[in-house]
């Protein structure tokens, strides 16, 4: 029991050290981004200015009509959004009848992403709706291959997000890292990779650090979030983000890590600043 107490005390001290570092200059090992949707009550221009002042380099999951707002503050968009009334998380590439309209939809988004000087564009598998995981990989690969050459030409990477199907996105097919990796192999292009969402994958499979180490070459981007609840990533949840971020950096990853937790506290920007500092190892 004494040993357990010592371990918990040490963990608490490490978390506190990161909390007291809020406001300190960023170290430069991690490229920080933030997902705009988590701060829906804050105007994008206000969020952009605040992000720049915190040392955040990107605001993401935004649409092309919002690009100019973030560019005014010398920010990039590390992951362009791709959801409209027809396409999104539940309706994606795993249905062959979706392929023709999705190719047209994504070609337009690839053009706008490339024209803005951005490089990553999100995509989704869609829900199973009775489709086997094996057939889902076959169908997704067949559809993605119809557009991936265009993405390669435009120097844009299509990035499929790993999401949990247990709590937030029931029946979503790309819900395990192994499934996503097999899809990457089936597509066979460096212009198709995965968005490893740490929150979602902790819920589905855990074993986060080993999974990151073994699969980094298939991962283009990371999202954060506290488990359970998808809120602040401090001592109120079960993951220890400094260790996770160290594992990410140690793989040689040069992409972006985006804060995608939904702040519970009244001062949402203070929570964002804290999250960035926690991840800034």
pLDDT at 15 over 70: no
Give the CATH number for residue 274.
Answer: 3.20.20.150
Q: What is the DSSP letter of 25?
A: P
| pLDDT tens digit sequence for 117-134 | 999 999 999 999 999 999
17 or 164, higher pLDDT: 164
Q: For residue 122, what are the β-bridge partners?
A: 159
* Structural domain includes residue 269: yes
* Structural domain includes residue 24: no
* Structural domain includes residue 2: no
* Structural domain includes residue 19: no
Average the pLDDT over each of 8-17, 95-104, 112-121, 221-230 and give the range with the smallest value. 8-17
* Structural domain includes residue 16: no
Alpha helices in the chain (DSSP H): 2-20, 44-54, 67-71, 99-115, 133-154, 177-187, 198-204, 208-215, 241-250, 268-279
Compute the distance between CA of residue 83 and CA of residue 79 in angstroms, rounded to an integer: 12
Find where tokens 């029931």 sit: 170
* Structural domain includes residue 18: no
Count of the separate structural domains present in the chain:
1
Q: In what order do the strands lie in the sheet with 58-60?
A: 58-60, 31-35, 256-259, 219-223, 192-197, 157-161, 120-123
Token reading at 31: 């490229």
**241, 221, 245, 243: which is closest to 233 by C-alpha?**
241
**259, 258, 268, 225: which is closest to 40 by C-alpha?**
268
Residue 239 sits in which domain range? 30-279
* Structural domain includes residue 153: yes
pLDDT at 189 over 90: yes
pLDDT at site 20: 41
* Structural domain includes residue 4: no
| pLDDT tens digit sequence for 22-35 | 467 899 999 999 99
Please give the average per-residue pLDDT across 73-84, as a whole number. 96
Token reading at 170: 């029931």
Alpha helices in 118-267 (DSSP H): 133-154, 177-187, 198-204, 208-215, 241-250
Average the pLDDT over each of 47-51, 81-85, 118-122, 250-254 and give the range with the smallest value. 81-85
Q: What is the DSSP letter of 169?
A: S
């Amino acid at each position: 029991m004494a040993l357990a107490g010592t371990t918990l005390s040490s963990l608490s001290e490490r978390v506190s050290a990161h909390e007291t570092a809020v406001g300190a200059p960023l170290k430069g090992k991690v490229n920080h981004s933030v997902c705009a949707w988590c701060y829906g009550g804050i105007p994008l221009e206000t969020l952009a200015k605040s992000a720049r002042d915190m040392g955040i380099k990107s605001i993401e999951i935004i649409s092309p009509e919002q690009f100019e707002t973030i560019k005014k503050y010398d920010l990039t968009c590390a992951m362009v959004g791709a959801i409209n009334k027809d396409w999104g998380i539940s309706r994606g590439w795993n249905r062959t009848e979706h392929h023709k309209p999705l190719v047209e939809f994504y070609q337009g988004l690839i053009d706008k992403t490339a024209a803005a000087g951005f490089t990553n564009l999100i995509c989704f598998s869609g829900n199973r709706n009775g489709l086997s995981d094996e057939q889902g990989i076959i169908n997704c690969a067949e559809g993605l291959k119809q557009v991936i050459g265009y993405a390669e030409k435009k120097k844009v990477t299509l990035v499929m997000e790993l999401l949990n199907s247990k709590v937030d996105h029931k029946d979503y097919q790309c819900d395990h890292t192994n499934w996503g990796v097999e899809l990457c192999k089936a597509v066979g292009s460096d212009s198709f990779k995965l968005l490893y969402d740490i929150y979602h994958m902790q819920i589905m499979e855990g074993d986060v650090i080993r999974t990151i180490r073994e699969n980094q070459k298939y991962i283009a981007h990371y999202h954060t979030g506290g488990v359970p609840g998808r809120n602040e990533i401090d001592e109120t949840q079960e993951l220890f983000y400094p260790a996770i971020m160290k594992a990410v950096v140690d793989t040689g990853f040069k992409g972006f890590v985006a804060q995608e937790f939904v702040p519970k506290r009244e001062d949402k920007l203070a929570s964002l600043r804290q999250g960035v500092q926690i991840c800034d190892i």
